[in-house]
Amino acid sequence: MAKYIFLFLIVFTVGCQHKQDVKTGVDLPSKLDEVSGNEMIPNSNEIWMHNDSGDSPRIFCVNEKGELLRKIYLDAKNKDWEDITSDPKGNLYIGDFGNNNNKRKDLEILKVSHKSLSSEDVVKVKRIKFSFEDQKKFPPKKHKMHFDCEAFFYFKDNLYLFTKSRVKGDYGKTNLYKLPAKKGKHKAKKIDSFSFGEDPYSWVTGADIRDDGKQITILTQKEIWLFSDFKGDDFFNGTLSKVTFEHATQKEGICYKGNNTLLVTDENDHGRGGNLYKFKITKPEDHHGLQ
């Protein structure tokens, strides 16, 4: 049964702000009470999701009503799955890179073939192992704990990772890393950084890129950030707009549906959350925000 959630949003663009009201969410299945990532494969209406650490190594396929269509088990472990993305061929990538204590040496991304997404058997995966090029100690000192990660996406044969800071007073800082989207061992190259705020609600918990590659979205627990009009992968130097929620839940997953819709999920935390939200967007330069 659909559950209606009333959200109040404030949309900011350069010198402009708008209030939006009455947004709706639908309940997700109880099996997805710790949903940590969601993704729509191009040219499909199915939404793929997964839980955080502690769940079995499985991914779930649901529709926009929140109804479970099927689930698939992977030949892997869910050490700390944090986000999911896809490439233009419909292959899925699952980020097993949650790293709260900044001491993991077994970070990897699991590639799931598009052909196996209807399999009834345990699915074999390809492993993309990596480490951050600038991490020298495991864990580093407290003021250098920037190596947790909960967000990434695929773009032009590469994977782009947005880290989550564990440094007090600098929680909103994210470092952007790039590595090849192919099996093997890689060093994730740091290419940029950005700050989304100072408090824990500014943590980066999700990210996605539009299918046409012309806009990215970054999710924190209190905001959606949109960057467009960038050159190449210089994402943070694009045109910026953002949405501020007046709705505090543990939001951890975001993806595009086409060019003008965002799907957001949050974890079920003591009876709050556990929903799939749909937001209509327009171009940031139009100054209309979400509709």
Q: What tens digit of pLDDT does each residue of 80-134 get?
A: 999 999 999 999 999 999 999 999 999 999 999 999 999 999 999 999 999 999 9
Tell me how far apart the alpha carbons of residues 33 and 103 are, in angstroms, rounded to a whole number. Answer: 27
155, β-bridge pairs: 158
Residue 8 in this model has a pLDDT that exceeds 50: no
Q: Give the list of residues 6+ apart from residue 210 with CB closer than 8 angstroms, or none.
A: 216, 217, 256, 259
Domains and CATH numbers, the chain: 9-286 (2.120.10)
Please report which confidence band the pLDDT of residue 9 belongs to, taking 50, 70 and 90 as the band edges. Answer: very low
Listed as own residue / partner, the contacts of 182-189 with beta carbons closer than 8 Å and 24 or more positions apart are 182/128, 182/157, 183/111, 183/126, 183/127, 183/128, 184/128, 184/129, 185/129, 185/130, 186/128, 186/129, 186/130, 187/130, 187/131, 187/132, 187/133, 188/130, 188/131, 188/132, 188/133, 188/161, 189/133
Q: What tens digit of pLDDT does each residue of 25-68 get?
A: 899 999 999 999 999 998 899 999 999 998 999 999 999 999 99
Please report which confidence band the pLDDT of residue 283 belongs to, taking 50, 70 and 90 as the band edges. Answer: low
Q: Which residues of 196-260 form beta strands (DSSP E)?
A: 204-209, 215-220, 223-228, 239-245, 251-257
Whether the full predicted model's pTM is greater than 0.85, yes or no, is: yes
